[in-house]
Each structure stands twice: as C-alpha cells, then as structure tokens.
Amino acid sequence: MKVIIPLAGKGTRLRPHTHVVPKPMLKVAGRPVMSYVMDDVMQLGNVEQVVYITGHLKEKVEAFAAAAYDVPSVFIEQDVQDGTAGAVARARALIDSPVLIIFVDTIFDADLSLLKHCTDDGIIWTKEVEDYQRFGVVVTDANGHMTRIVEKPKEPISKRANIGLYYIRNWQLLLEGIAHVLTTPPNKGEWYLTDAFQYMIDQGAKIRVVDVDGWYDAGQLETFLDTNRVMLEKGRARRPAALGEGATIVEPVYIEDGCTIEHATIGPNVSLGKGSVVRQSTVRDTVAGDQVTITNASLHDCFLGDHVRVEGVAGSLNIGDHSEIRGEG
C-alpha cells in the first residue's frame, strides 16, 4: 500500500505561526499534529512508500518526515496550488497499488485496520456533525456506500462530514477519475479530489462510508486550542518531575522537563515547551512553544510561538516566534 499526504497549503488561518512552521508540524500537546495520524499509519505494517506532496516550507517538512519515520519516502512539490485532485495527480506515476490518502491538519480516532479486510473499491471516513452546512457531506445508500458528496448543503441531506481520510483499493479507477477531473473547468483555479471519487461512483464503484469515533480540527486558532485540550484529556498530559516554589498545576497540562514555574498557576489545558519560564502569572487554555517567558501576566486562550516574551499582560494573545509584548499589568 502507498500513502499519499498532501500538505502543500500555506495554513493562512493559523498565521502568524505558519509563516515559519508548516501547519501539520505545529504542536498539539507537545507533538506535531501530523505525528498523531502517522503513528497510526506506521502501525499498519504494510506501507511500501509514503508520498508527501509539499509546497509551503517544503524543506522543513522533508527534514521532519525523513527523521521521524523509517519508511521509504518521496517528496513531490505542488508548485501551483491547483487543488486536492491536482495534488494527488502529481503522484500518479507512483500509484501502482491501493492508496491511503490523508490530509494531516486534523487528528482522527479512526480504525485504519479496516482497510486490511476491505473488499470494496475504497473507504471514505466521515464524522457526523450538527453544523453540516460548514462541510462537504457524504450521502450514502441503504448499504452504507457513498452515492455523492455535497459541499455545504442547505438542507440536511446528510450530517456525515468528509474529514479528509480515504482508502482507495481500486487505484486504477482513481487515476482515471483524476484524469477526468483535470479535463473539466477548475473551480476558482482548483480541481477537487472528491470529484474524482464521484466519477468512480458514477462508473459503478462501491466506496464504503465509515464513521470515525473522533475528529479534531487543528486548522484554525479556536479549534487548535480545543484539540490541544482533547489530546491532553486523552492521555497526552504530563507534568515535570520538579516544580518551582509557589507553583500550582491544574490538570491536564503538558509541561516539558526543565521549565521554570514560580509563584504561578498553570492550567488547565496548557502545553508549555522546553526551556520556558512562567513567574507571578496564571495561564490556562494555552499552547506555548519553546523558550517562552511569561511574567506578571494573566493569560487564557493563547497561542504563543517559540522565543516569546510576555510581561504585564492580561487576556488572549496569538503571537508568532521571537515576539515580545509588555503591558502595564
């Protein structure tokens, strides 16, 4: 089986952080977002090759992936942002077996072992949501096979959101579908992979629809912080072996060893990177990078990059690496 991971996007909704860090490499509960899914992929044991479709900050993606995963890897640049079908099309010369396609800016609770026993043409994983108007939703027949995908429906024809996780066993028909899509007029300059799936369905393919137990978005600030909270609650929490004088920890938190916490309250739902210092402050519902210094502050719902200094500030902040903010508090 081949694995294709499109991650060429610029992550504009998570700026300023994505100016210097690729979106899938931003850390949630101390780990890059993409590592949560990749760990599940590596446990499958039958991955022949991982194809990364890169673009924005591609050198950082390549360095991270090469060091983190012991599996043959290929990096292909998507030099023009022409959509998800355009991304996978760049790997077509390498697709000669079933493929698992993963968009790694979200975290899933998905049973990937299902693909080992798949006899259908493929599997598309979904999550039932109440705010279905925000998503592309998957419509199924009585046997649980996909009939179509509808983008942001006004009527509740389905509440099963497309989450960006697909297994395609019939890879030949997938390539045929992608080739067909690329002959059609693009939608605002982009071709969509879901249109290739629709082509497969129209040709008689059977794609099984399976609901995941959990789906956690890490693509914008509000959901990023909530996903950090969920990962802490699901077992990623840790506290340092030693705490400074006057330190109070409100679980769950993720705090690297070597952080300095004095006369401060940390948590709940805080991730604090290595070498960070918090004094005379309270911090909750926050993701802070490495070498962050927080003094005389009261912070909540913050996303702080690496090497950030905050002093005398109360409230919420979203600031990138090497920033400094001082208030009168």
Alpha-carbon Rg for the chain in angstroms: 21
Which residues of the chain register pLDDT less than 50?
none
Give me the pLDDT at residue 101, please: 95
Give me the pLDDT at residue 318, please: 95
Angle between helices 193-202 and 171-181 (to 10 degrees): 120
Residue 94 phi/psi, 5-degree rounding, is -100, -10
Strands 264-266 and 247-249: parallel
User: Are the C-beta atoms of 168 and 98 separated by less than 8 Å?
Assistant: yes
User: Are the C-beta atoms of 264 and 246 separated by less than 8 Å?
Assistant: yes
- The secondary structure element, H or E, covering residue 75 is strand 73-77
- How close are the terminal C-alpha atoms of the chain, in Å? 57
HEC string for 138-190? EEECCCCEEEEEEECCCCCCCCEEEEEEEEECCHHHHHHHHHHHCCCCCECCE
- The secondary structure element, H or E, covering residue 314 is strand 314-315
Q: Coil, strand, or helix at residue 36?
A: helix
* Domains of the chain and any CATH numbers: 2-217 (3.90.550.10), 238-326 (2.160.10.10)
Give me the pLDDT at residue 145, please: 94
Give me the pLDDT at residue 168, please: 96
Give me the pLDDT at residue 183, please: 93
User: Are the C-beta atoms of 236 and 31 separated by less than 8 Å?
Assistant: yes
| pLDDT tens profile 181-230 | 999 998 878 898 999 999 999 999 999 999 999 998 887 887 899 999 99
